[in-house]
Amino acid sequence: MWRDTRKRTDLPLSLWLPTLWLMRCGSRSIDYWIGGSDIGRLDPILISVLMTCGFFVLMRRRCNWGGIFANNSALFIFYGYLVVSELWVDNLENPLVKIFRPVGDLIMALVVATEINPRESIITMFRRCSFLLIPMSIVLIRYFPELGRLQDKHWGADIWMGVTTHKNPLGQTCIVSALAFLWALVEAQRNGRPLWRQAIPLLYLAMTLYLFNGGGSSDSRSSTAIICLMLAIGLFWVFGRMQDRPGLVFRRIIWGAVVFVVVSAILGVFGTSLQAVVAETQGKNATLSDRTYLWHDVVRLGMQRPILGTGYGGFWVSSIFPKLSPMVNNHPLEAHNGYLETFANLGFVGVGLLAWGILQSLLNASKMMQSDFEYGRLRLVLLFMVIVMNYAEATFPRGNHLWWFGFLIVAIYARPWVAWPENPPLHLEEERAEVAHEEETVPA
């Protein structure tokens, strides 16, 4: 990490704020590491300090905030609705505490989006986060199993969780590492450097694959994380083939969506589903480890307040557990589906606003590929990966969650509205000219 900091002198020290935030999202609370429990004051203090510092960093930056808010209007409206929804939460003692963390995610994402080089900032954050969390996870799993493993309830193999709280968060942290160091290898190859001399990326990729394998036990593998990583690598290659024709990207995305719908319909005719086919390839049953039972309960209970929901953080409270079906007996704290999680807390209004934000982000990222192909490709790949991830995991819109924060840093687009130093790179000049032309041609 020290060598990496010395090499990247072009990146400001303020990038350490979202980097530390990402490390916190990808591991356990500070109170747990120090006191063995998630209940305490140190974690809120750390989050408050980072949020305050991030806010002052944003205030010192020369940004056209009106342009940033207008270009990302859907996400900011979604956040406004998230805050307002606390007004109809019934069972929380202090509803404002719940929105504290997701608001911090937004502040830190804006710090990243308003950096001079946001693409390199994202990759650097991922890399520095992995430097600490990946080897530490291996140390805990191998030598401190009481901290790094979750004891199996049925005398089977222990579940690996490393620095996180379960195998699924560990898999999501491994995605961060794999993407960071695969990108490093791609950059090395592009610059003519031999891959066999990239010792650090290769070493960390080997450790990441070791964690992905989960000790050879299917119970310790996060199938969702493995599928999402394979999807990200595949999309990265597919979009790379269109570098000479970036204008076709969005059209190809539409065709991909059509093919997805057609394949799902054909499988439905034959009495199966794409979900069942994918689950079978990972050695899972069609219920996705009994997730479908939980989904039915979330829909059934959510339909009691379908329009506005229960309010952010108002669904998963102790009074909900007796209402769940007998097949769901593990007191879940999430819906294991980001869209159902949003529906349960924020209703159809929240789901609609979230869908609007996702669509706006996809459009912005596809347009960016015409002015800065690599940054646009990175944003599109991560956006699609998070969209798919939320089918079997709930990262929308959970505060301090690794891939809710990851979604925000690629969904928010702020670069043309940030004051750049003299003589910016050519692609930035073209991008600003394009935005100015669009603003001139739009009727008042």
**In DSSP terms, which residues pair with 160 in a beta bridge?**
149
How many Cα atoms occupy the beta-carbon half-sphere of 89 within 13 Å? Answer: 26
Q: Give the integer Cα–Cα distance in Å for 36 and 147.
A: 10
Q: Give the integer Cα–Cα distance in Å for 248 and 3.
A: 40
* Angle formed by the axes of helices 167-190 and 223-240, nearest 10°: 20
Q: Give the integer Cα–Cα distance in Å for 378 and 117.
A: 13
The secondary structure element, H or E, covering residue 150 is: strand 149-150
Report residue 171 as tokens: 């898999």
Q: CA nearest 58: which of 9, 130, 108, 93?
A: 108
How many Cα atoms occupy the beta-carbon half-sphere of 29 within 13 Å? Answer: 17
Q: Distance of CA 7 to CAs 120, 128, 134, Å?
A: 13, 13, 21
Q: In the prediction, which pLDDT does 36 show?
A: 80
- Residue 427 near residue 372, CB atoms below 8 Å: yes
Domain boundaries, the chain: 2-246+363-441
Q: In the prediction, which pLDDT does 423 show?
A: 42
At residue 192, the 3 state secondary structure works out as: coil
Give 186's contacts (C-beta < 8 A, 6+ positions apart). Answer: none
Q: In the prediction, which pLDDT does 426 show?
A: 43
Report residue 364 as tokens: 């912005």
Q: How far is CA 183 from the centre of its chain?
A: 17
pTM above the 0.85 mark?
Answer: yes
Q: In the prediction, which pLDDT does 332 show?
A: 85
Q: What pLDDT, in 10s, does the model give residues 177-192?
A: 999 999 999 888 888 8
Q: How far is CA 106 from the centre of its chain?
A: 12
Where are any strands of DSSP class E within 249-387? Answer: none
Q: What pLDDT, in 10s, does the model give residues 73-125?
A: 999 999 999 999 988 888 766 666 678 889 999 999 999 999 988 999 999 99
Residue ranges of the chain whose pLDDT lies below 70 = 92-97, 152-156, 267, 269-287, 420-444
Q: What pLDDT, in 10s, does the model give residues 114-155?
A: 998 899 999 999 999 999 999 999 999 999 999 999 876 656
Q: In the prediction, which pLDDT does 179 show?
A: 94
